[in-house]
Amino acid sequence: MRLVDLRAGGRATAPVVETRASSGAELLRCAGVLITDDPDAFDVGADRIAAVRDRTPPDLLEELRALSGERGDKALLLLAEAGAVVPAPGTVQQVREALLDDPLLPWRLLAANLVFKDHAHDGPDPLELVQRTIEGDTEALEALRAMDAAGDCPAELEVLLRTTPTEYRDRLVAAIERFEVEVFRDLQDEAMGAIERDVVHRRRQLDDGMPAAEVVLEATNGYELAEDDRTLRRVVMLPSFWFRPWLILGRLEDVEVLSTPVADQFVALPSEAPPPTLVKLAKALGDEGRLRLLRRMSGGPITLADAMEELEVAKATAHHHLALLRQAGLVSLREEGRRTHYGLRGDPSDTAAEALAGYLKAPGWSGGEATGG
């Protein structure tokens, strides 16, 4: 939950923006992708994910699933925010040492972005219980376990409530050590090479005087920083190769952590292959419902509820459509309190025409045949 103090006068101080090539964050995101139920949702491709999964020891995959909980891979993805709380650049070793120093670090990372169901019962606020647990209150921990037994806790918290903080930390550290040696070491150069190229580019943009909000907008493919958030002091971007094209937004007190997709130009692709952004653009425009949403947004920003009403679909389906539009570079998103507003980034017809023309006119092609080796 983000609280904004509107009592103070004057403009909010712009947050400091930095970007890191964190191997610790990327290891955890790679592990999360391997245990996903929807491998087709990632740019690395279902075949690549299956190939890496097949050479990962089955017992290690099972342990990663257990550490993530019964409902998916989100816990590991949120734990990747550790790359922003340790000293830069956030290596695997730095993340491991931070976990060894602080058994409650997983609680701090997972609990920072929790959303509880509306609770109408008497008793302490669940977020207060989480905070008290992090401060070492065992009674608060037991109260949360009672809520978990009643089915009132988010999945990210459930995994922590199944064991003690120290035991969960020890299992997580052991899994990280195994995954680094047995899986990630062979993947690290490719992933971190692309990430480091992206980081150098973003740092150069900032050094050249590009407004931080514009750098974030481009790096996230559409996320707008909240201009009136007086509690925000720092923004840390952690580009990811394995988690492309998805974006994860996290908040750790006065630090916003953005897991951003590495830009297409920094990923090694065959010269004749269409860039993933163009493929996503064609996919986004090839659906009647998404075209209707773009038309609706031509009249101004909309909310998720507006998208559900327009398409007469469930919340998850509407969110999926909006996510695909953002990944295609057509839509920006801006958080205002508990609501997210989606608006056009520009003229969709211009965006589509420029992307297609850029690919068709790329060097090395003439008359439909490759001229280069």
Compute the average pLDDT of residues 97-107. Answer: 95
Please provide the average confidence, as pLDDT, over all residues in the chain: 87
For residue 372, is pLDDT > 80?
no
For residue 2, is pLDDT > 70?
no
In this predicted structure, what is the pLDDT of residue 311?
Answer: 96
pLDDT digits (tens, 9 = 90+) for 196-254: 999 999 999 999 999 999 999 999 999 998 877 888 999 999 999 999 999 999 888 89
pTM for this model (two decimals): 0.84
Compute the average pLDDT of residues 277-286. Answer: 89
pLDDT digits (tens, 9 = 90+) for 120-159: 455 678 888 888 888 888 899 899 888 888 888 777 788 8
For residue 315, is pLDDT > 90?
yes
Compute the average pLDDT of residues 25-50. Answer: 95
For residue 75, is pLDDT > 90?
no
81-100 as b/e, with b when 16 or more CB fall inside 10 Å? bbbbbbeebbbbebbbebbe
Sign of CA pseudo-dihedral 315, 318, 322, 323: positive
For residue 99, is pLDDT > 50?
yes
What is the pLDDT confidence band of residue 170, given thresholds at 50, 70 and 90?
Answer: very high
In this predicted structure, what is the pLDDT of residue 1?
Answer: 33
Instruction: Pick 260 or 69 by higher pLDDT.
Output: 260
3-24 as b/e, with b when 16 or more CB fall inside 10 Å? eeeeeeeeebeebebbbbbbbb
In the numeric block, which tokens belong to residue 129? 């219980």
Is residue 70 helix, strand or coil?
coil
What is the pLDDT confidence band of residue 301, given thresholds at 50, 70 and 90?
Answer: very high
Domains and CATH numbers, the chain: 18-115+154-195 (no CATH), 276-363 (1.10.10.10)
Choose the weakest-confidence range: 2-6, 19-23, 179-183, 315-319.
Answer: 2-6
For residue 72, is pLDDT > 60?
no
In this predicted structure, what is the pLDDT of residue 336?
Answer: 83
| Cβ–Cβ under 8 Å, residues 220 and 259 | no
For residue 9, is pLDDT > 50?
no
Instruction: Pick 317 or 269 by higher pLDDT.
Output: 317
In this predicted structure, what is the pLDDT of residue 356?
Answer: 85
Compute the average pLDDT of residues 163-171. Answer: 93
For residue 38, is pLDDT > 60?
yes
What is the pLDDT confidence band of residue 369, given thresholds at 50, 70 and 90?
Answer: very low
307-331 as b/e, with b when 16 or more CB fall inside 10 Å? bbebbeeeeeebeebbbbbbbbbbb
For residue 321, is pLDDT > 60?
yes
Q: Which residue has the tokens 């550790």?
A: 82
Residue type, 83: G
- CA distances to 69, 117, 142, 155, 251 from 133, rounded to whole Å, are 19, 19, 9, 17, 19
In this predicted structure, what is the pLDDT of residue 19?
Answer: 97
Q: Tell me which DSSP letter residue 19 carries.
A: E
For residue 255, is pLDDT > 80?
yes
